[in-house]
Amino acid sequence: MALKDNILVEKLIENGFKKDEIDLWLQEASRFKIPFEGYLYQTQKVDPKVILKIKSEVLNIPYKIFSAQEEVDLNVLKLLDEQAAKTYKMAIFDKKENTVFIGAVEPEEKQVQQAYEYFLKTHNFEGKIFLITPGDFYKIIRRYHDFYDDVKKYVLEYRKIKPLLIEKSAIRIEGMTETQEQAPIVELVSLFIKEAVYQRASDIHFENLQDKFRVRYRIQGDLKDIVFLPKDIGEPIISRLKVLSELKLDETRIPQSGRFRAYIDGREIDFRISSFPTINGEKIVIRILDPLSGLLNIKDLGILSYHQKIIDEVLEKPYGLILITGPTGSGKTTTLYAFLQSLNEESVNIVTLEDPVEYRIAGINQSQVRPEIGYNFASGLREILRQDPDIIMVGEIRDEETAELAIHASLTGHLVLSTLHTNDSLGVVPRLIDLGVKKFLIPPTLILAEAQRLIRKLCPECKVKSPIPEEIKEEIEKILKELPKEAKKEIEQEEFIFLPKGCQKCNFKGFIGRIGIFEFLKMTPELEELILGNFNLSQAREILKEQGMVTLKQDGIIKALKGLVDIYEVLRETF
């Protein structure tokens, strides 16, 4: 049983958290239909150790915090049946003589207490029970099975049913039923999906290569080989994924797309599937759309005070055009959703056009375009204007017609949000002109252009403090001198950077998650005059510099000095 919300709120306030922020979290937990305590654990808005200490104090039950390096002896763990451990969310983490030490997520629950007493009685053990976090519990019970051992087990099960055929002409007539043949494949696909969610992967790649079948996860922006399987196992895996997402099994010549929803670790997660024909066979990519990690608040994006001030000002405006720009995979959609959540109120009608709808947001009218039947961004935007909208979100401005309609909508009293593909925020202006937008329409409509990149976030547990190396010291000093006063307030020190090291918590990568670096362009009279005259990028950059704009590189370096990101990655990703 989770702690009552009012008790948890009261204790969080005592621990220094702000009431306004907590109220926002309560609303989000309600929207996701999960207990407030569970929401805090899953999103890590609050350090799990803080929640554990609060709960321990309220329930008068001792707690146990596991270090990143701490491992549970498998023989000790298996003293308790795996199914019982999962059912009651408790696990044995230590044993000394005849005493077992058991960690439980909800030890105060009557069923858990009964299971605990029954286990001790039937095994003639003494016992001590401790509160543990859900994260530590799932980490412990994963030890019941090794991921690669399970992969091997299901492959061998499948191989017993369907032996490898040496000659293509050979056939097996003493057949097994389809259900028997599919069972290990079903388990194997489930295993890959659950492991990807546990590792916080954003995508899973199932790839037919020339002589093998490869599975890869995209973790923190980088693709990582997970396993190579025999070539013939690829086809039933692809078929299973097609069944899950209701794609045509007999269509292998053209790309298909679909989606499905599944319960993973007690919560609903959407999965978007795309199939693609290659010369070696079909490839499938699954995008994992976990709302708790994908739907972020503006404060969770990594935006610092000087940019937060601009956002607060712009989102108060009743009309205008907000454009977010950056390369594919830079988090543009995540930022759009964060803005929409901030704008989502009962008094406004928000309508979106997306391709596809990645996350469902309660209270917002979301629509997916279907170009194959003529329902594209342009035609959809034309219809949206008949839906009495206050705020419109268009997934991307790709053509002249969509650009003109977006400009028109922002001129006629609507707040319009969308994305473009440009290298920086200033590149939005020439891109709009290239799309056929008249120069004189840009200044009165464009209220914000924001460019961004995603940078890996340093692991807080193992990052190493280091003096700034000589080879980049001069460049950093020059950039810091050019910073506006508002941005300099964020810098607490200018002598050290932080480097990745690697520990068990970050899987020895040195990084956990990603954070955005940003660049915000606001329309000003000086910039307006330049746009209406002979627009020149170099001249425009000088104007923005004089007006105190913080560039992508400057924002990244500030975050590097604050110990959030690796400075070498910032310098590599910006110019």
Q: At CB < 8 A and 24+ separation, what contacts does 466-472 make?
A: 466/496, 466/497, 466/498, 466/499, 467/495, 467/496, 467/497, 468/495, 468/496, 468/497, 469/497, 472/567, 472/568, 472/571
Name the pLDDT band for 177 (thresholds 50, 70, 90).
Answer: very low
| CA distances, 16 to each of 7, 10, 12, 13, 19 (Å) | 15, 10, 7, 5, 9
Tell me if 429 is assigned to some domain: yes
Residue 459 lies in a domain: yes
pLDDT at 152 over 90: no
Same domain, 106 and 238: no
Residue 313 has pLDDT above 60, yes or no: yes
Closest CA to 553 of 455, 460, 430: 455
Domain boundary among 266, 290, 314: 290
How distant, in Å, are the alpha carbons of 61, 106, 242 from that of 258? 47, 38, 8
* Separation between Cα atoms, residue 103 and residue 72, nearest integer Å: 11
Do 417 and 558 reside in the same domain of the chain? Answer: yes
**Average pLDDT, stretch 251-276?**
87
Tokens of 28: 């989000």
Cα separation, 237 vs 182, whole angstroms:
9
List, in order, residues 6 or more apart from 503 with CB less than 8 Å away: 68, 69, 459, 461, 462
Alpha helices in 171-323 (DSSP H): 178-198, 231-244, 291-294, 305-314
138-157 mean pLDDT: 82
pLDDT given at position 175: 39
Position 170 scores a pLDDT of 38
pLDDT tier for residue 167 given thresholds of 50, 70 and 90? very low
Burial-class residue 253 by CB neighbours within 10 Å (0-12, 13-18, 19+).
exposed
* Whole-number average pLDDT of the chain: 87
- pLDDT bin (cut points 50, 70, 90) of residue 180 is low
Which residue is associated with the tokens 């029970």? 129
Tell me: do 326 and 263 sit in the same domain: no
* pLDDT value at residue 434: 93
Residue 391 lies in a domain: yes
| Any domain includes 400 | yes
Alpha-carbon torsion (9, 348, 290, 453), positive or negative: negative
- Tell me, yes or no, whether 173 lies in a domain: no
Band of pLDDT at residue 174, cut at 50, 70 and 90: very low
Among 155-169, 246-260, 284-298, 536-550, top mean pLDDT goes to: 246-260
Q: Does 466 share its domain with 397?
A: yes
The mean per-residue pLDDT over the stretch 480-508 comes to: 85
Residues 209, 127, single domain; the answer is no
Asked whether the beta carbons of 297 and 423 are under 8 A apart, the reply is: no
Count of domains for the chain: 3
pLDDT tens string 376-424: 889 999 999 999 999 999 999 989 999 999 999 999 999 999 999 888 9
In a domain, 172, yes or no: no
Whether the CB-CB separation of 80 and 90 falls below 8 Å is answered with: yes
Say if residue 500 is preceded by a cis peptide, omega within 30 of 0.
no
Distance, in Å, from the CA atom of 213 to the CA atom of 226, rounded to the nearest integer, reads 11
Q: Which tens digit of pLDDT belongs to each residue from 94-106?
A: 999 899 999 999 9
Q: Are residues 98 and 217 in the same domain?
A: no
Instruction: Examine the domain organization and report whether 125 and 248 are in the same domain.
Output: no
Domain limits at 346?
A: 295-573
Do residues 236 and 315 both lie within one domain?
no
pLDDT of residue 7: 85
Res 29: pLDDT = 81
Q: Which one of 262, 290, 318 terminates a domain? A: 290
| 31 pLDDT above the threshold of 80 | no
> Is 169 within the bounds of a domain?
no
Token couple for 126: 């003494």
What digits encode the pLDDT tens for the residues 15-29?
Answer: 888 888 888 888 878
Percent of the chain with pLDDT over 90: 45
Closest of 244, 245, 243, 154 to residue 191, by C-alpha: 154
Given a cut of 70, whether residue 163 has pLDDT beyond it is no
Phi/psi of residue 518, each to 5°? -135, 165
The structure's pTM equals 0.73
CATH of the domain at 82: 3.30.300.160
Q: Are 149 and 83 contained in the same domain?
A: no
Same domain, 223 and 129: no
**What is the rounded average pLDDT of the residues 494-514?**
84
Number of alpha carbons in the 13 Å side-chain half-sphere of residue 548: 9
The residue-averaged pLDDT of 196-218 equals 92
3-class SS string, 403-444: HHHHHHHHHCCCEEEEEECCCCCCCHHHHHHHCCCCHHHHHH
pLDDT value at residue 43: 77
Q: In which band, very low, low, confident or very high, does the pLDDT at 178 lie, cut at 50, 70 and 90? A: very low
Q: What is the CATH number of the domain that holds 446?
A: 3.40.50.300
pLDDT at 428: 94
User: Is residue 171 in a domain?
Assistant: no
pLDDT of residue 172: 37
Structural contact between residues 343 and 350, judged by C-beta atoms closer than 8 angstroms: yes
Reference 53, options 116, 110, 121, 133; nearest CA is 133
Mind spelling out the 3-state secondary structure of 93-127? EEEECCEEEEEECCCCCHHHHHHHHHHHHHHCCEE
pLDDT, residue 171, reads 33
- Single out the residue in 238, 268, 290 at which a domain terminates: 290
User: Residue 208 maps to which CATH number?
Assistant: 3.30.450.90
- Of the pLDDT bands very low, low, confident and very high (cuts 50, 70, 90), residue 69 is low
pLDDT of residue 176: 39
Residue 476 reports pLDDT greater than 60: yes
Does 254 share its domain with 378? no
Q: What does the angle CA 434 – CA 438 – CA 440 come to, to the nearest 5 degrees?
A: 130
What is the DSSP secondary structure assignment for residue 513, as one 8-state letter? E
Quick one: average pLDDT of 106-115? Answer: 91
Same domain, 105 and 200: no
Question: Ranked by mean pLDDT, which of 131-145, 197-211, 357-371 comes out on top?
Answer: 197-211
- Tokens matching residue 312: 């607060």
Q: What does the pLDDT average to over 86-95?
A: 91
Distance between CA atoms of residues 427 and 424, nearest Å: 5
535 vs 515, residue with greater confidence: 515
CA 556 from chain center: how many Å? 20
Query: Which residues, including other chains, have CB under 8 Å from residue 219's CB and lie 6 or more apart?
Result: 199, 200, 201, 202
Cα distance between residue 268 and residue 324, in whole Å: 29
Q: How far is CA 121 from the centre of its chain?
A: 44
* Residue 398 half-sphere exposure toward CB, CA atoms < 13 A: 12
